[in-house]
Amino acid sequence: MSVLKKLNIGIAGACGRGASFKAACEAVGFVRIHAVCDVNAEALPAAAERLGADEKYTDYQTMLARSELDAVILGTPMQFHVPQAIAALDKGLHVLSEVPAGVSIDECRRLVAAAKAGSGVYMMAENYTYMRANVIVREIARRGLFGAPYYGEGEYIHELKGLNEVTKWRRKWQTGINGVTYGTHSLGPLLQWMPGDRVESVCCAGSGHHYRDPRGDLYENEDSCVMLCKMAGGGLVKVRLDMLSDRPHAMTNYQLQGTDGCYESARAPGEPNRIWLRCKREKPDKWMDLSELADEFLPEFWRKGAEAAAKAGHGGGDYFEILDFLDAATGKRPPAIGIHEAMDMTLPGLVSQQSIMQGGAWLDVPDSRGWQVRTGKGGAE
Ligand SMILES: NC(=O)c1ccc[n+]([C@@H]2O[C@H](COP(=O)([O-])OP(=O)(O)OC[C@H]3O[C@@H](n4cnc5c(N)ncnc54)[C@H](O)[C@@H]3O)[C@@H](O)[C@H]2O)c1
């Protein structure tokens, strides 16, 4: 594929989350939103116009069959990510999929098999890993200044009861299942701050059921689900997911502890992100504001893209993930969150759903790197 040719992108879920990739695609420049797809036939024409798409489809398979695409972006509800990704990978297309990568371990196995077999790039759009503060912390961790990181916390606290009634898939796939159903925003950055580590086993417990939906039914998801992750390197990570409790949002709460430093993100708007690093000769009881370290640790790619990123959303995440994906699709470098990193971020949550059903039992999290691809029908084993 010539790098000079504009990459033709098809966006699925174009009337919802899919539409939010427009600003990033425009800023990057060498892509064209060629086709859009959404089952909402009424809203589709306006979405196609807004996104400047040449073609529009109400059926995903028809878009893949008829449209001349190089890549697809999947902004559809969670349960469609795997089937739509596999269909595109089987056609040799590149895939950028919204989070999480899949909704069951079995389908994740099939996805890994398809990603390994296909010629296209698979990347998961874990945009929180690109947020400015998270990128600064990642760079500090990459340079080893936390020493050995051994404890982390991530929380996604986002009251979504009303949204469940508008985007009804959420009532089934996010709040209709117990355990961590939406954990990649919390786990994703933490895994990047513990380079080379992965979650080996998890246990999960919940805080009970204190809210009902408008039909009077209790949510199957407990109000706060806490997943403890035992890391392969011996450390511990705590993930809290809460999509039900009445309270202000707090989707980007993080903590990291290492032998030579620690980090605590702001817990409320206006508060600073706090860091302590031994190498900065600070006393152990004295915090620095993370922003004081931006000049030294904010990577060049983020500085260069800051203006374009500001237009895209999610603290820059929605821009930089597109940039990374397109770099991967054009062969410049491997995807930042390729198939195995996507599994590292997705599988612990899926296993937590089994753990909470088994009274919080510790259960092993599979490592997708060890999944064999069957040559016959049926995908990975
Ligand atoms: N990374 C983030 O920050 C972030 C933010 C919001 C949503 N998301 C993810 O994006 C996805 C969509 O979330 P949303 O809030 O936009 O939901 P939504 O329901 O508002 O939008 C989804 C869109 O997909 C369309 N759709 C449904 N089934 C389809 C199908 N089979 N083929 C094509 N189109 C289909 C719907 O009509 C709708 O327009 C979810 O997976 C969610 O987890 C991620």
Over 80: is that where the pLDDT of 375 sits?
no
| Its pTM surpasses 0.85 | yes
Residue ranges around ligand 1 (CB below 6 Å): 12-13, 15-17, 37-40, 60, 75-78, 80, 98-99, 125, 127, 167, 314
Q: Give the per-residue pLDDT at 4.
A: 57
* pLDDT tens-digit series, residues 154-211: 999 999 999 999 999 999 999 999 999 999 999 999 999 999 999 999 999 999 999 9
Q: Whose CA is nearest to atom 5 of ligand 1?
A: 17
pLDDT category of residue 281 using cuts at 50, 70 and 90 = confident
The helix (run of H) or strand (run of E) holding residue 225 is: strand 225-231
Taking residues 272-286, report their average pLDDT.
89
Atom of ligand 1 nearest to the CA of 314: 3
For 101, other C-beta atoms within 10 Å of its C-beta total 32
Mean pLDDT value of segment 32-38? 97
Distance 10 CA to ligand 1 centre (A): 14
Nearest to 199 by CA among 227, 241, 240: 227
- pLDDT of 374: 53
d(CA 198, CA 187): 10
Helix (H, G, I), strand (E, B) or coil at 51: helix
Give per-residue burial for 325-348: e unless 16+ CB within 10 Å, then b.
Answer: bbbbbbeeeebbbebbbbbbbbbb
Whole-angstrom distance, CA of residue 324 vs CA of residue 133: 18
**Distance (Å, whole) CA 172 – CA 378:** 27
Longest distance between any two alpha carbons in the chain, whole Å: 63
Contact assessment for residue 272 and residue 264, using Cβ atoms and an 8 Å cutoff: no
Q: How far is the CA of 172 from the centre of ligand 1 (A)?
A: 14
Token couple for 281: 């000769």
In percent, how much of the chain has pLDDT > 90?
A: 87
Whether the per-residue pLDDT at 1 is higher than 70: the answer is: no
Pair of tokens at residue 101: 């990568």
Of all protein residues, the one whose alpha carbon is nearest to atom 6 of ligand 1 is 17
24-28, 230-234, 243-247, range with the lowest pLDDT: 24-28
pLDDT in tens, 194-205: 999 999 999 999
* Closest listed residue to residue 70, CA positions, set 6, 12, 131, 19: 6
Which one, of 324, 205, 189, 297, lies nearest residue 253 by Cα? 189
Average pLDDT over residues 361-379: 78
Measured in Å, how far apart are the chain's first and last C-alpha atoms?
A: 32
Ligand 1 centroid to Cα of residue 201, in Å, is: 30
> Exposed e or buried b for every residue in 9-22, given b needs 16+ CB within 10 A?
bbbbbbbbbbbbbb
Distance (angstroms) between ligand 1 centre and the Cα of 286 equals: 43
- At residue 334, does pLDDT exceed 80? yes
10 Å CB burial of residue 2 (0-12, 13-18, 19+) is exposed
Tell me what the pLDDT averaged over the chain comes to.
94
Q: List beta partners, residue 11.
A: 36, 73
Distance 196 CA to ligand 1 centre (A): 31
